[in-house]
Structure 1
Amino acid sequence: MTELLRLDGVACIRGDRLVFEGLSLALGRGEALWLRGPNGAGKSSLIRLAAGLLRPAAGTVTRRERIALIDEAAALDTELPLRKALDFWARVDTVDGPAVTRAMDDMALASLAEVPVSMLSTGQRKRAAMARVIASCAPIWLLDEPANGMDDAAQARLVAGIAKHRANGGAVLLASHFALGISDLAEIDMGAFV
């Protein structure tokens, strides 16, 4: 198995508070790992460590491929129509236009292509953020509460997108309050590392 992401003995301190310590994990091609636990257990902090947005207080983080991240911000220009906002990220990620079209189709967003991002509902913005991740073609997906605000149909599309990504050799690190019905999902209880 080829490891795409590895964390060895990482610790996280936010402010003066130890959030977690001694945490190790590895994700290979086709694998998915669910970070579960109550609010404040460090799920989002671990996603940010894996993304390189936070430095670990101890331990190491190794990424062997590109990443795509969903967190609380959609990271889409709210003034642009949805398609143009997604095309901007496609250029940054050096992927072609058809990748954006496929991602929009996967998340049922084609009918919203000309709608400004600022006019999208919460669920539509989450689907748009997921389309950005899909279109990136990044092998490692870091998903922090990706289903928040999504209805059942959108969650089913999210789960299908994750399954397709894994089938194509991608890896997923998922922080969520629930497992979303994803098959063959390993898990870590973040509450055990404090």
Structure 2
Amino acid sequence: MLEVEDLACLKGDRLLFRDLALRLQAGELLRIAGPNGVGKTSLLRLVTGLALPEAGEIRWRGESIRREREAFHRELLYLGHAPAINDLLSPLENLRFACAAAGDEVDAETCMQALVRIGLENQLDLPARVLSQGQRRRVSLARLFLSGRRALWVLDEPFTALDVKAVADLAQALSDHCAAGGMVMLTTHQDAPFALTPRVLDVGAYAC
């Protein structure tokens, strides 16, 4: 379980939100909502431990993520809004590098299958610099098919630049992860055909 209590976020000299609380359990999909600039991405960065809160506590399986950082990160998959890929590498090389950097032992064939599944069968060996924005996004998202053992998926605008079919496929993958006992927290401005109804947390309700 992920637990957040009395969380406050300071950005520069501006307090974005305070007293924010949430709980996320196995099988749940949580959509983080709110107007632009309210702190949705900042909340995701706090929850993943990439930034420190001004106040409050974040716990994973009952333990503070500050004290059990490594154990928490072994069960976490975070994909930010921008695709973190190297323009000089192919989709296959990028995916293999990302998996290795995260400590996931995945062979080339399995990575190739993930890229084919997400619709990049014709771009496997092309340099990433020639890919469209949607194709670049898919390279990063292919990690979702290789990270089932990571219980918590935190995704910032995962549907950006995807076509209708890709949105549906991704929504199904997220629903499948929850059905298998995983947890998903995401931000999105798009409607997606999830197999389960997301719970919604409006960060604007905690805005300062």
Q: Do they fold alike, i.e. is TM over 0.5?
A: yes
Taking only the aligned residue pairs, the percentage that are identical comes to 35
Contact 1:70 1:133 in 2 (8 A): no
Report Cα offsets for 1:64-99 as digits up to 9, x if no partner: 442111212211222111101101122233232254
**Residue identity in the other structure for 1:151:** D
- The one of 57, 76, 85 aligned to 1:76: 85
Aligned residues: 191
Shift in CA distance, 189/17, structure 1 to aligned 2, threshold 3 Å: same
**2:130 maps to 1:119:** yes
Corresponding residue of 1:170: 182
Aligned pairs (5 A) from 1:97-176:
97=107, 98-137=109-148, 138-176=150-188
CA RMSD for the aligned pairs?
Answer: 1.6
Task: Identify unmatched segments of 5+ residues in structure 2.
Answer: 62-71
Using the alignment, how far apart are the partners of 2:13 and 2:3 within structure 1?
26
Using the alignment, how far apart are the partners of 2:118 and 2:95 within structure 1?
13
- Aligned partner of residue 88 in structure 2, secondary structure: coil
**Residue identity in the other structure for 2:125:** E
Report Cα offsets for 1:107-147 as digits up to 9, x if no partner: 12222211111111111111111112332332211111111
- Aligned partner of residue 143 in structure 1, secondary structure: strand
Contact 1:35 1:189 in 2 (8 A): yes
Using the alignment, how far apart are the partners of 1:88 and 1:59 within structure 2?
35
**Residue identity in the other structure for 1:9:** D
Deviation at 1:14, TM superposition (A): 0.3
Contact 1:95 1:136 in 2 (8 A): no
Corresponding residue of 1:63: 60
Moved over 6 A (4+): none
Aligned pairs (5 A) from 1:1-40:
3=1, 5-40=2-37
TM-score by length of 2: 0.85
Task: Identify unmatched segments of 5+ residues in structure 1.
Answer: none
